[in-house]
Structure 1
Amino acid sequence: MAYARSAADLKPAYDYVVIGGGSGGAVVARRLSEAGGATVLLIEAGPSDRGVASIADPTQWVSLTRGPYDWGYDYAPTAHVNGRTIGIPRGKVLGGSSAINAMMWYRGHPRDYDAWDAAGAKGWSFRDCLPYFKRCEDWEDGETEFRGAGGPLRIERSRDPHPVARAMIDGAVELGMPRIDDPNGATNEGATLSNFNIASGTRWSAARGCLWPVENRANLTILTQSLAIGLGFEGSRCVSVRHLVDGVPVETRADGEVILALGAIDTPRLMMLSGIGDPEELKRLDIATHLALPGVGRNLQDHPLVRAVNFRAKVPMGAPRDNGGGSMLNWKSRADLPAPDLHAFCIQSRSAVPEIANTHDLSGDVFALAPGLMGSKSIGYLRLHEASPMGRIEIQPNYLVEQADLDALVTGVDFVMDLAGTAAFADLFAGHAAPTRRLNRAETVDFIRNACSTFFHTCGTAKMGADAEAVVDAELKVHGMDGLRVADASVIPIIPSCNTHAPVTMIAERAADFILGAG
């Protein structure tokens, strides 16, 4: 069977039930269905991505946020971002956030994964992870020591980079930054064309790459528009999932395992609703504690993005190319750092949060450079305020709480201001738009607080490790619970210095091997 259309199409039990059809769940479902005829049910809360033109077109991804394929979540305001609410797009569609994101394929620095291993996620060093990164990939340049070929996810550079993308690279080189061919190669430090999950001008999401080619497997069932509302237990074993089909609760058993891949917001939410979490938090919600794991919902991390530094253009920007960007920079905010912590990308048009757009003139031809912090240290949390699947939830990344994060972003804003003044931008730069001039430090800090946004890299809320706040072990099994595993961004213990799609895909590849006994 391919797609289930109603409860009548479902079996009462499957060998494996995977909840969430995004970057993690799509991979796990594909790999498990390859192995020995095991029956696999993939449950996705959103609709299919098939035939949705705005998803397929890489240039339209911004329009997908706050639309029908987005959960519509927000980060709660704090004084550190001048009391602003920040939207956090998360995909509610087959393919998950890989169906609505900016299609960046980037794994950061090897030290990121060595840090996981050192923090208690034993066996997750870069050397351990690299074979799984390679297994994900179908890299346009073919297999190398660092890159894979023939995997489910196609990865390409721009065929015809926009002038702003070229200028960003050339300008950074003028300012002393090295030029590198591939940020997923031997080093990520430097200026480079971005790697995209784009093939021949079409988005290559987790659904398209992992599920479309195998959707007719007899042992794989894909159920869309089905919201998971709870987990069922027999003692210390997870044995079933309760989910809605056409609005009616259904319970489906898992004879082998249940794999949670709902993402860093909805995986901890489902766990808490099912009685797995901090007993004090569960008591506040009148939820009986089935398994005490205080770390559920804690350790939330995301990269802060300054969106963005806008400039007036001397020439029309033309139709957007690629994802509307095309190139990226990775560099150090301080010379003594062991690896890059700052990241920036270009935007072929205006880009601003409402607080900036409403107070600046961004009419006419405008381009933008967006600096962000990939080495962020601030840590937040997720809390439920209602004990219901769609109840009120508080999501708090604590952006800019750490002074070091703010200091690094000041350096980032100053650098992209310098970029606009290089010879590489001489044919493009026609003046400042937002901000309207060079700023002193105090003004830059206020601009950052007003422009702070998200890279969409929420992670860490069910972290991997062995300490008191760890939720899963090094094989992604929930501590103290049999038959339940997590394969999404929530297990990340320390946020890596990259977009999270690539590491989540790698995590899911490893999860499948662990489940099948091959890891």
Structure 2
Amino acid sequence: MLRDAADALEAAYDVIVAGAGTGGCVVAGRLAAAGLSVLLVEAGPPDTADPAIADAGAWVGLLGGPCDWGYAYAPAPEVAGRAIAIPRGRVLGGSSSINAMLWNRGHPSDYDGWAAAGATGWDFASVLPYFRRAEDWEGGETPLRGAGGPLRIETSHDPHPVARALLAAAAERGMPVLADANGPDNAGAALANLNKRGARRWSVVDGYIRPLAGDPKLTILTGATVLGLLVSGSVCSGLRLGLERGIAEVRARREVVLTLGAIGTPALLMRSGIGAPADLARLGIAPRHALPGVGQNLQDHPLLMGINFSARAPLGPVRDNGGGAQLNWRSRPGLRAPDLHAFVVQGPHAGPEIAATADLSGPVFAVSPGLMGSTSVGSLRLESAESDGPITLRPNFLAEPADRAALAGAVDTILDLADTAAFRDLGAVPLTPARRLGRSEADAFVARACSTFFHTCGTCAMGTGPAAVVDPALNLHGVAGLRVADASVIPTIPTGNTQAAVVMIAERAADLIRNAAG
């Protein structure tokens, strides 16, 4: 049942889930359906607060608004001294309620890499059942896809002309055209898998929470800030919450699950005295438990906003999520998985630095590439012990020369599309950049165009080594009664959008919690 923050809370619940984003809604919904009493806590409002949330084509207008935490990556010389906005959902459903709805698992070998790095039991064969369990794939059940699950997944039923052109252009360039972007291999062009039902977004709230409306086992508390963990010795027993009426404490009879995301979860741990002792001492926080990996290993996928084309004539209204098709390819032979990804945009796509270099009015579209095999790793740093204090986020985009070289090559690959019959049929003329670039020019363009896919992860990495924060059962190392089930536990970023990986993690977390509860 949905409770307002002004309502009285029960003293204890079987499980408390902190953060009602992608991971939190999955965990809470599955556990409540299994008969455990669950409190799901969210700082933001219900997802009905803005009608645009339900509109699959309106998500861009949600970024930077009241349902967005408003984070940004710190300026860095590698990205021409710019801060880069990193939208994160501050609303029931979290980023699942404001994102572009893409459902990409990445390459199967990504998860084999997790297992090899110490996340035992998280190889692809082991996690595939959890991907399939979540899915209601429009194509029906297959050995790789699920049907009848909570999350509706569709491709465009009437692709936009730009989406159709990308598929045709890829075929003309000798690249595979895939029947399913989440098939056995993701190299090639495909219609995008989207979490939508027709023109409506289908978020984790739709899939996992709304079917439990009125169920007394599920209490959802919106407008509540998680101020800290209740820890005694080496046991976590609950949360301290900031409500409109004051501060409250609530206890978990079985365990607390952190699903505040790759920014919120490590920040809460550090503010609760769990992290690197030197970092905690710098902020005047009394150390409770030393875990030096908290806030480290930050990873994201760099995206280039800025490869725009003019078209001969208007291309029609926005369809689907404003895109609809994608392309994966390898920057060089011999790579285990495609490391480059591009998607179409049914209009201009550029930050202010690139937009200032050309007229992007009129019929314009974009094909935006990014690096899914990025190797640069950054960190999260608290600047205050206060719950609303500033956080410095450094992804170290383009810090590795190989990352810069791969993205510079991606610019040429996208410009090659202009020489295909499919793009000539649209009257496509490159605008930004307007021509092929020399190496130094390409490096400068990449630095000015670099943005993010909004795939922040890795800051409480799963594993067994000294830098690991959670074990392969998602338990926090050294603290009983506390689990993490969000993007922060990802040890190495997959070569795809992270939403599907987070849902899979949360599905498995629910199983682990149920099994522990007997």
**The TM-score by the shorter chain falls in which range?**
over 0.9
Alignment of 1:209-288 (within 5 A): 209-246=207-244, 248-288=246-286
Q: Distance in 1 between matches of 2:19 and 2:201?
A: 20
SS at match of 1:128: helix
- Which residue pairs with 2:453 in the alignment? 455
1:87 partner amino acid = A
- Which residue pairs with 2:11 in the alignment? 12
Q: Distance in 1 between matches of 2:52 and 2:449?
A: 27
- Which residue pairs with 1:311 in the alignment? 309
In the superposition, the TM-score normalised over structure 2's length comes to 0.98
Contact 1:308 1:371 in 2 (8 A): no
SS at match of 1:264: helix
SS at match of 2:85: strand
Q: CA deviation at 1:438?
A: 2.1
Alignment of 1:358-377 (within 5 A): 358-377=356-375
Unaligned runs of 5+ in 1: none
1:34 partner amino acid = A
Q: Distance in 2 between matches of 1:425 and 1:432?
A: 10
Q: Distance in 2 between matches of 1:495 and 1:227?
A: 28
Q: Distance in 1 between matches of 2:428 and 2:291?
A: 55
In the superposition, the TM-score normalised over structure 1's length comes to 0.98
Q: Distance in 2 between matches of 1:332 and 1:161?
A: 25
Identical aligned pairs, as a percentage? Answer: 58
Contact 1:77 1:85 in 2 (8 A): yes
Q: CA deviation at 1:363?
A: 1.3
Which of 144, 147, 158 in structure 2 is aligned with 1:146? Answer: 144
- Which residue pairs with 1:80 in the alignment? 78
Contact 1:7 1:250 in 2 (8 A): no
Q: Distance in 2 between matches of 1:516 and 1:7?
A: 30
Q: Structure 1 297/247 Cα, relative in aligned 2: closer, same or farther at 3 Å?
A: farther
* 1:99-135, Cα deviation, whole Å (9 max, x unpaired): 1100000100000000000000000000000000000
- Which residue pairs with 2:487 in the alignment? 489
Q: Distance in 1 between matches of 2:160 and 2:497?
A: 22
Q: Distance in 1 between matches of 2:74 and 2:356?
A: 21
- Which residue pairs with 1:205 in the alignment? 203
- Which residue pairs with 2:193 in the alignment? 195
1:267 partner amino acid = T
Structure 1 residue 384 and structure 2 residue 367: aligned?
no
Tell which deviates more after alignment, 73-82 or 243-252. Answer: 243-252
SS at match of 2:358: coil
* 1:198-232, Cα deviation, whole Å (9 max, x unpaired): 10210001111111111311111001111111001
Q: CA deviation at 1:247?
A: 5.2
Tell which deviates more after alignment, 357-366 or 101-110. Answer: 357-366
Q: Structure 1 72/61 Cα, relative in aligned 2: closer, same or farther at 3 Å?
A: same
1:3 partner amino acid = L
Alignment of 1:402-481 (within 5 A): 402-481=400-479
Q: Distance in 1 between matches of 2:152 and 2:474?
A: 26
- Which residue pairs with 1:176 in the alignment? 174
Q: Distance in 2 between matches of 1:326 and 1:94?
A: 25
Equivalent pairs counted in the alignment come to: 517
2:20 partner amino acid = G
* 1:482-502, Cα deviation, whole Å (9 max, x unpaired): 000000000000000000100
- Which residue pairs with 1:110 in the alignment? 108
Q: Distance in 2 between matches of 1:504 and 1:429?
A: 40
* 1:388-412, Cα deviation, whole Å (9 max, x unpaired): 1110110010000011111111111
1:27 partner amino acid = V
Pairwise CA RMSD: 1.1
Q: Structure 1 430/192 Cα, relative in aligned 2: closer, same or farther at 3 Å?
A: closer
SS at match of 1:77: strand
Q: CA deviation at 1:7?
A: 4.5
Structure 1 residue 335 and structure 2 residue 333: aligned?
yes
- Which residue pairs with 1:159 in the alignment? 157
Unaligned runs of 5+ in 2: none
- Which residue pairs with 1:66 in the alignment? 64
Structure 1 residue 27 and structure 2 residue 2: aligned?
no
SS at match of 2:410: helix
Contact 2:241 2:248 in 1 (8 A): yes
Contact 2:418 2:430 in 1 (8 A): no
Q: Distance in 1 between matches of 2:169 and 2:407?
A: 19
SS at match of 2:472: coil
Q: Structure 1 247/360 Cα, relative in aligned 2: closer, same or farther at 3 Å?
A: farther
Hey, which bits of structure 1, 4+ residues long, moved more than 4 A? none
